[in-house]
Structure 1
Amino acid sequence: MESQYVYQKKRADFGRHPLFFDRMAEIQVDIDTNEDDRDDYMVRNPVHAGVQAVVQLSEHYANTDTFETSTKHINHVEGGWPKDINAADMEATSRFRKKTEKDENYSKTIISLGERVEKVIRQNNAIDIYEEYFTDAGIIPTVDEPPRVSTVNLFRDPAGKGARSAINIAWHPDGGKHAAVSYGSVGFQKSLKDLESYVWNVENSKKPLITLRPRSSVLCMEYNPKDSNIILGGQFSGQVCIWDLRKNSPAPTDITAAEVSHRDPCHSALWIQSKTGTDFFSSSTDGTVKWWDTRKLSEPVEELILDPTKQLNPNAALGAICLEYEPTMPTKFMVGTEQGTIIICNRKGKTPADKIAALYQSYSGPVNTIARNPLYPKMFLTVGEWTNRIWSEDIRDSAIVTMKNSRYHTAAARWSPTRPAVFFTAKSDGSIDIWDLMVKQAQPTLNINVSDAPLCSMRVTDNGNLVAAGDRNGNVTLLSLNDALTELQKDEKAFCNFLFERETRREKVLEARNRELRLKEKQKNKPKIVEEDTQEEPTDDPLTDIATELSTVLAAEKKKHPLLERQFSFEIDQPVEDDEEEPQAE
């Protein structure tokens, strides 16, 4: 049944403003109950009803304008250079620029464009854009913040505490988001069952981002600077392997053949600046350095034997522990050996002997790390035994700066990429020393206790704000540096330039003085040798012959034992005065 009620209104009242007023309730419809349905009615007990235990909200809508989004891409080529030219390589850009300037079309284009831009250039030159308008206001003093280091995260080896050591760390080239860590044993001939290495996300320390399973323990790892999906690894077996992270496989994508690889463990492998980005070189304690191409790992491209005598004798080669390569000097590299010698090599030498350019005798033990200063490439830092030294390529006899010996062994060292006066050293007591040459030179500016176990490795990000340190128990500690340790300080470049030049000049003066003293002493001893070589004519008298033979033996013994003839001098490279009387032979 449909209920209807008709509201009646006159035509004249249409559109009139309504006047509402209160009125009593009226019954419009009254429907009687149906008696036939009463028998079908049943009382339900209990009654199940749903209750919403939240705030009741009314349904509402709002009319808003639709915001449409779209995804667009742009192809940006840095600096306008061709794809095969690396904008960071000064030699490649200079060579390409000279080649372009010789083109006839280039000269014609420059002449035609010069007429168009001449007016604009004159307008720009009419205004001094470097004028300072507030010279009288003074400089706002900056707040000197003390150096501070804080722990960000801790990454534990999934194999278990103490099973392996974090022996190498490699940062992702695009920033400090990912870090590849290789694990192994530093014990003598200690075999491991767990050979995995991991790629960690710095924000997640619970689980590795990627697991890498090599055939042998990995001693070193490096990201490809041109393709961050490629990781290079040097193995304990002497082989070198490549991982392509895009294939989602823990096994190496490619590996060098055992018969052409190193005979001893490969301790260091680095990528080389090239157009293709596929070239790298590796070193081992077997005394060889080998160059490879990832497109053909069946055999090395080139090989160098680290023989200091330049005779290319494998038996006399020095075992390599670490490598150092600067992309701005693509043909030069440095090798630190286990005998304590630093070798500077030039790959473009005409003969294999010419490739060994210079030798530096730095330590009596292995050279653990070599690092060039990012602002002054001729200055490099070395770490070995219990001390740190700064060298100049122009001085080969001694280091220009030698730090005080530490009580603990130093395992690794790195320069700060943003501050040329700051470097970091990792020690066997589980701490990191931060050296700031602008503040102190005799002792570290800051000492940070990182772990209870000895540190094995350390690496700094390219922006210099994060430091990762690995210890003997397989833990990797991530440290964050404040602005006092990452931002370039006032007059820091001038200070470093003055310091390095002063120490280099001082060492050159000392070297020249020592050379002069050695020459004088050689000339002073020359007449004695002539007198001793002068022999009297033989005589028939036997007593005379015995006396002559006795004097010859005594002279030879004096040469073997200088203490019989002179006082022992503790001053190095100082001439010994001959004023004292010679001891009489009894």
Structure 2
Amino acid sequence: MEIVYVYVKKRSEFGKQCNFSDHPADLNVDIPPNPELAQQYMERNPVDIGIQCSTSMSEHEANTERFEMETRGVNHVEGGWPKDVNPLELEQTIRFRKKVEKDENYINTIMQLGLVMEHCIKQNNAIDIYQEYFDDVDPVEVTEEAPSAKTISVFRDPQDIKRSATHLSWHPDGNRKLAVAYSCLNFQRAPKGMSHDSYIWDLENPNRPELILKPSSPLVTLEYNPKDSHVLLGGCYNGQIACWDTRKGSLVAELSTIEFSHQDPVYGTIWLQSKTGTECFSASTDGQVMWWDIRKLSEPTEVVIMDITRKEQLENALGAISLEFESSLPTKFMVGTEQGIIISCNRKAKTSAEKIVCTFPGHHGPVYALQRNPFYPKNFLSIGDWTARIWSEDSRESSIMWTKYHMAYLTDGAWSPVRPAVFFTTKMDGTLDIWDFVFKQCDPALSLKVCDEALSCLRVQDNGCFIACGSQLGTATLLEVSQGLCTLQRNEKNIASSIFERETRREKILEARNREMRLKEKGKTEGKDDELREEAPAIDLEQLVAKAEEEFFDIIYKELKKKEVEAMKSASLKKPRVEAEEEKEGEGEVVEEENPEETPA
């Protein structure tokens, strides 16, 4: 059906009618050349004139107000099932479909749509628009570009009472969202009226969180389920484990009972690579590591006490403050403790005491971060006190590499997922350091001041290009690093592997040498002790005690005699001084008696 609209206008509204016709050219004015005017001008040859279309302006900047976006959903009723048909009732939908299929226009419509769909299917089969043609080509080495990073967006805590951003987690499907846990970790110093909410942010809308998570206690850690992006796992400040399903809203879907949960804040939660995708484990400063199944969070399925004496006593357990689990090593996990000791554990051990395999002592303070190298799992990174250390499982007495001692405390760290020689660290002075030990080992390749307050946490995106940093005031900053820092360099894997192996061998040699020196010293001291035992006659213990008492009292008597002699000397010096003063006083009295006689009455 063609829609036509006719516009009607009077002839008089168009104005005077124009009558155009051909006409020969007319000469209106003839100005002959004047030689006198030419003498008044000076010719310049050549003449260059710069011309540009726009006006010249100085460099200037203008700040515009941030455009706030809001996403709203609309429910379209028209065009779906009729009002008298309930789509949830199977009988009504089947009856309605049969009624539509009997319609005469149904077959013609299906035939027309079938031709269009057939064309699209053939087109998709002919060419794959998502195919990566140059995926197998070796990456180009990027060395000329200097390392750099820029801020993409900032996600600020919308609450008036600010809290620390304690943990970050990227959305597993395309990394389009960022989950941030907010909490105050100062013991019994949480401000009055502080909110318990945590948020999920959409990267395209930093003005307003996409979803608010409402836990019973502030969240210290928050993790997306890698198998189901709608499910999140949180560790609360009061020790409980909480689970959310974003399809069900902001409220907690599952919550562990307070009796069977941790007794301290949960500083680490990690999802396990299981068939069901519902298994996880958590760690707390109460010295326990617990395994859970989110389908039944009433109590943990397994508990391991971090007692390195292997007596399984909770009062001797070391407080766990960080966790590490690599899916390629499903039986192993590592725990960083408050005491600076890293504990390596084996979950499949027969007894609980055997589950603690070994320890790596190396930090003066709490181990805030632990992560295995994604390319070489035998080497792992630890963050604690003022340094970042790289360890090898073959060398347990000392780390194989470490950074210099910084002036500010280190708070978090992580490996780059695409480059084996690059890792990131955050510090209390608000600085993000990017290390590339193939390029430079003494100093970071790039040091970036992110904010004025302390940085508390760090998370790297799977492609290695974007980094999210959380601060003490609840601000999450999204940074993009330069192409050279997120592109695998040529021969980088071999170079990093050789560096790890070389440093591991060096530490082994040093450990063996120290061990030999300790054994020699021990042998010497034991030999001297044996000689002294052979030479010395058998002495009664009572004689030794009597001799010691005699020496003690001799020293006391000597000190007393010395004090008596000093007192006598001081008394002898004091006596003539007193006599002289008495003589002077006597002479003064005589003068006073003589003076009245000399003066007249």
TM-score norm. by structure 2 comes to 0.67
Superposed, 1:124-523 pairs within 5 Å as: 144-160=144-160, 163-191=162-190, 193-247=194-248, 249-523=249-523
CA apart distance, 1:140: 9.4
**Partner amino acid for 1:186?**
L
| Deviations 1:138-196, CA, capped at 9 Å, x for gaps | x9986722222111000110103x61111110001112210000111132212353111
SS of the aligned residue for 1:354 comes to helix
CA apart distance, 1:549: 5.6
Partners in 2 of 1:202 and 1:280 — Cα distance?
27
Which residues of structure 2 form unaligned runs of 5+?
A: 1-12, 14-111, 122-136, 553-601
| Deviations 1:535-559, CA, capped at 9 Å, x for gaps | 42569xx9xx679966xx99xxxxx
SS of the aligned residue for 1:207 comes to coil
SS of the aligned residue for 1:463 comes to coil
Partners in 1 of 2:164 and 2:250 — Cα distance?
20
SS of the aligned residue for 1:170 comes to strand
Partners in 1 of 2:398 and 2:533 — Cα distance?
37
Partners in 2 of 1:218 and 1:546 — Cα distance?
65
Q: How many pairs are equivalent?
A: 421
| Deviations 1:73-132, CA, capped at 9 Å, x for gaps | xxxxxxxxxxxxxxxxxxxxxxxxxxxxxxxxxxxxxxxxxxxxxxxxxxxxxxxxxxx9
Higher percent of residues as helix: 2
Partners in 1 of 2:425 and 2:166 — Cα distance?
15
Partners in 2 of 1:360 and 1:450 — Cα distance?
32
| Deviations 1:377-429, CA, capped at 9 Å, x for gaps | 01011111111110011111110002100010110001000000000001111
Deviates more, 1:470-479 or 1:187-196: 187-196
Match of 2:525 in 1: 525
Query: Do 1:432 and 1:448's aligned partners in 2 also have CA atoms closer than 8 Å?
Result: yes
Query: Do 2:143 and 2:484's aligned partners in 1 also have CA atoms closer than 8 Å?
Result: no
Which residues of structure 1 form unaligned runs of 5+?
A: 1-50, 52-64, 73-131, 133-138, 555-586
Query: Do 2:429 and 2:455's aligned partners in 1 also have CA atoms closer than 8 Å?
Result: yes
Query: Do 1:334 and 1:344's aligned partners in 2 also have CA atoms closer than 8 Å?
Result: yes
Partners in 2 of 1:190 and 1:143 — Cα distance?
48
Query: Do 1:176 and 1:466's aligned partners in 2 also have CA atoms closer than 8 Å?
Result: no
SS of the aligned residue for 2:353 comes to coil
Deviates more, 1:349-358 or 1:145-154: 145-154
**Partner amino acid for 2:236?**
Q
Instruction: Find runs of 4+ consecutive structure 1 residues off by over 3 angstroms.
Output: 65-72, 139-143, 545-550
Superposed, 1:56-71 pairs within 5 Å as: 68=116
Partners in 2 of 1:143 and 1:528 — Cα distance?
61
Deviates more, 1:142-151 or 1:452-461: 142-151
Change in CA separation of 1:246 and 1:385 when aligned onto 2, cut-off 3 Å: same
SS of the aligned residue for 1:505 comes to helix
Query: Do 2:267 and 2:285's aligned partners in 1 also have CA atoms closer than 8 Å?
Result: yes
Change in CA separation of 1:147 and 1:538 when aligned onto 2, cut-off 3 Å: closer
SS of the aligned residue for 1:203 comes to coil
CA apart distance, 1:362: 1.5
Partners in 1 of 2:525 and 2:331 — Cα distance?
45
TM-score norm. by structure 1 comes to 0.68
Query: Do 2:168 and 2:459's aligned partners in 1 also have CA atoms closer than 8 Å?
Result: yes
SS of the aligned residue for 2:495 comes to helix
Partners in 1 of 2:246 and 2:322 — Cα distance?
26
**Partner amino acid for 2:225?**
N
Identity of aligned residues (%): 47
Query: Do 1:175 and 1:461's aligned partners in 2 also have CA atoms closer than 8 Å?
Result: no
Partners in 2 of 1:383 and 1:182 — Cα distance?
20
Partners in 1 of 2:142 and 2:298 — Cα distance?
58
Partners in 1 of 2:355 and 2:187 — Cα distance?
33
RMSD, aligned α-carbons = 2.7
| Deviations 1:322-357, CA, capped at 9 Å, x for gaps | 100101111110000001110001100011011001
Query: Do 2:141 and 2:489's aligned partners in 1 also have CA atoms closer than 8 Å?
Result: no
Query: Do 2:389 and 2:403's aligned partners in 1 also have CA atoms closer than 8 Å?
Result: yes
CA apart distance, 1:431: 1.0
CA apart distance, 1:520: 1.0
Partners in 2 of 1:361 and 1:330 — Cα distance?
24
Query: Do 2:264 and 2:284's aligned partners in 1 also have CA atoms closer than 8 Å?
Result: yes
Superposed, 1:83-162 pairs within 5 Å as: 144-160=144-160
Match of 2:41 in 1: none
| Deviations 1:213-267, CA, capped at 9 Å, x for gaps | 10000000111011010000000010000000111x2110010001000011111
SS of the aligned residue for 1:532 comes to helix
CA apart distance, 1:313: 0.5
Match of 2:7 in 1: none
